[in-house]
């Protein structure tokens, strides 16, 4: 019988890293590892890293430095670095930080068992290849009950080569998983208690398997799975928002009315410099078509302020686009140079201007988000409850629009209930059971 060992995984970055961490944990469970949320009791620590934000590698090295006392106290502890920083830095991580025993890139996670064995034997355990085989075919572990929501990766990599982005270099070219394998995994998740699945990809709406199954077709197939009540997908590129996918938003009841569609800038000059290959007008016309198909859809986006060459007039174009579209949620960042990307060597906008523009953009986006949430008061929404709230008898879940909703209810985790929204606060909504059933608790 395999002796139980403890595995601690710290996950940085996007939802795909969350999914990858879950699969790595399942794979290592087959090697006798049990998950723990306490790094101090772990036999192996994995840092699943993200390379998108500024100084990502330096932050990983800082975290590794904080782990040194654990290694000193337990020489048998194995420490690994996974994810996009591992892919970008490779052997440099081990050379710079000798306490690291294992480095593995995103496309080699299925090789974790053999890498773990190498690390245990004291041999170098490094794999940042882009193997031809589907890693997900080999990442299997013991089946366990799941919560009501789950991520499911269907596509990886990106061929767009935006001038600011490292994804094509750390995740590779666009690859879509076969639809039948996605369907099998989705059914397995549903059998284990999942009621909502979010389909993931660096450029998820570019999904197209070898048999020509598109994302829209995949969504329609998933909608027929008994027990699966909700479907979402992220993250998309405007250039791959096809007619059939737009139509699915209006025709597939299980596809939730929420869409994250990054635009990054409202200036055509900056969009061209970013190599986005679309214009602001193209994006706005696309939004109009999506809203025609699903009028109540809540839109989310990504924005970068201070991209090299951005003038005040260019930034004004971004504010104008935001005013035109109206976002219920959005993510915005100051531009930060990523080594190896086409924009890395361009002259940067002064930091003070980046920060000022970000503050003004976030003020506008924040006002739009508040207005969207306030407009929900008095409406009925369907809430999938995910966990208990902070107060006795309180539950929290997500609406179809991805708003966090708190309510006093006897609903169990995994149940979907119709609620009437009676309160809007900074980051959540308060609701009560529809038809006046039960009191409301204050949102957290």
Report CA 219 to chain centroid distance, whole Å: 18
SS3 state of residue 291: helix
Closest CA to 205 of 166, 265, 167, 246: 246
The CATH number that applies at residue 307 is: 3.30.750.200
The CATH number that applies at residue 432 is: 2.40.50.140
SS3 state of residue 164: coil
- Kindly state whether residue 137 falls inside one of the protein's structural domains: no
Going residue by residue through the chain, which has 444 residues, state the pLDDT in tens, using 9 for 90 and above.
446 899 999 998 788 888 889 889 988 988 899 999 999 999 999 999 887 766 777 888 899 999 999 999 999 999 999 988 888 888 899 999 999 999 998 888 888 999 999 999 988 899 888 765 666 666 666 566 789 999 999 999 899 999 999 888 888 889 999 999 999 999 999 999 999 999 999 999 999 999 999 999 999 999 999 999 999 999 999 999 999 999 999 999 999 999 999 999 999 999 999 999 999 999 999 999 999 999 999 999 999 999 999 999 999 999 999 999 999 999 999 999 988 899 999 999 999 999 999 999 999 999 999 999 999 999 999 999 999 998 999 999 999 999 999 999 999 999 999 999 999 998 899 999 986 444 343 333
Say how far apart CA 265 and CA 271 lie, in whole Å: 6
Same domain, 218 and 273: no
Say how far apart CA 375 and CA 326 lie, in whole Å: 13
- Kindly state whether residue 401 falls inside one of the protein's structural domains: yes
The CATH number that applies at residue 245 is: 3.30.750.210
Domains identified in the chain, total number:
4
Contact between 45 and 70 under an 8 Å Cβ cutoff? The reply is yes
The pLDDT of residue 176 is 95
Same domain, 308 and 277: yes
Say how far apart CA 176 and CA 164 lie, in whole Å: 23
- Kindly state whether residue 101 falls inside one of the protein's structural domains: yes
Say how far apart CA 251 and CA 246 lie, in whole Å: 9
- Kindly state whether residue 442 falls inside one of the protein's structural domains: no
Contact between 342 and 304 under an 8 Å Cβ cutoff? The reply is no
The pLDDT of residue 440 is 40
The CATH number that applies at residue 79 is: 3.40.50.12160
322 contacts: CB under 8 Å, gap ≥ 6 = 266, 303, 330, 361, 364, 365, 368
Say how far apart CA 268 and CA 289 lie, in whole Å: 20
Same domain, 317 and 399: no
Say how far apart CA 166 and CA 51 lie, in whole Å: 7
SS3 state of residue 70: helix
Closest CA to 48 of 95, 6, 97, 15: 15
Boundary (domain end) residue, out of 74, 92, 127? 127
Contact between 166 and 84 under an 8 Å Cβ cutoff? The reply is yes
Boundary (domain end) residue, out of 82, 98, 127? 127
SS3 state of residue 4: coil
Polymer length in residues for the chain: 444
* Burial class for 163, CB neighbours closer than 10 Å (0-12, 13-18, 19+): middle
The pLDDT of residue 143 is 60
The pLDDT of residue 34 is 93
Tokens 């059998």 correspond to what residue?
191
Which range marks the domain in which residue 12 is found?
Answer: 5-127
Same domain, 156 and 223: yes
Same domain, 55 and 102: yes
Would you tell me how many other CB atoms lie within 10 Å of the CB of residue 389?
20
């Amino acid at each position: 019988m395999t002796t139980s060992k403890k595995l601690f995984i710290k996950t940085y970055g996007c939802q795909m890293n969350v999914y990858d961490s879950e699969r790595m944990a399942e794979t290592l469970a087959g090697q006798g590892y049990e998950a723990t949320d306490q790094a101090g009791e772990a036999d192996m620590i994995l840092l699943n890293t993200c390379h998108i934000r500024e100084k990502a590698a330096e932050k990983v090295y800082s975290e590794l430095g904080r782990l040194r006392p654990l290694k000193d106290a337990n020489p048998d502890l194995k420490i690994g670095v996974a994810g996009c920083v591992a892919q970008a830095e490779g052997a440099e991580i081990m050379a710079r930080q000798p306490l690291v025993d294992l480095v593995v890139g995103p496309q080699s996670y299925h090789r974790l068992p053999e890498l773990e064995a190498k690390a245990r034997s004291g041999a170098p355990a490094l794999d940042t290849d882009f193997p031809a085989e589907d890693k997900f075919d080999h990442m299997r572990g013991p089946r366990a009950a799941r919560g009501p929501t789950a991520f499911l990766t269907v596509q990886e990599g990106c061929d767009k080569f935006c001038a600011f982005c490292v994804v094509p270099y750390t995740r590779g070219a666009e690859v879509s998983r076969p639809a039948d394998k996605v369907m099998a995994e989705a059914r397995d998740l549903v059998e284990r208690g999942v009621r909502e699945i979010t389909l993931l990809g660096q450029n998820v709406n570019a999904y197209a398997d070898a048999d020509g199954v598109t994302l829209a077709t995949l969504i329609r197939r998933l909608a027929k799975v008994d027990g699966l009540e909700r479907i979402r997908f992220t993250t998309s590129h405007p250039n791959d928002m096809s007619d059939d996918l737009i139509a699915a938003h209006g025709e597939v009841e299980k596809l939730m009315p929420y869409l994250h569609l990054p635009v990054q800038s409202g200036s055509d000059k900056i969009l061209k410099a970013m190599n986005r290959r679309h214009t602001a007008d193209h994006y706005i016309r696309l939004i109009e078509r999506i809203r025609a198909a699903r009028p109540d859809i809540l839109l989310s986006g990504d924005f970068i302020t201070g991209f090299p060459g951005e003038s005040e007039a260019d930034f004004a174009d971004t504010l104008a686009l935001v005013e035109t579209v109206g976002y219920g949620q959005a993510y915005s960042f100051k531009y930060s140079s990523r080594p190896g990307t086409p924009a890395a060597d361009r002259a940067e906008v002064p930091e003070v201007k980046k920060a000022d523009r970000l503050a003004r953009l976030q003020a506008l986006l924040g006002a739009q988000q508040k207005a969207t949430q306030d407009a929900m008061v008095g409406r009925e929404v369907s809430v999938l409850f995910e966990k208990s709230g902070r107060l006795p008898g309180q539950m929290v879940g997500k609406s179809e629009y991805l708003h966090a909703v708190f309510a006093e209810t006897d609903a169990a985790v995994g149940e979907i209930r119709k609620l009437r929204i009676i309160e809007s606060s900074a980051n959540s909504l308060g609701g009560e059971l529809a038809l006046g059933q039960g009191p409301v608790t204050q949102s957290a």
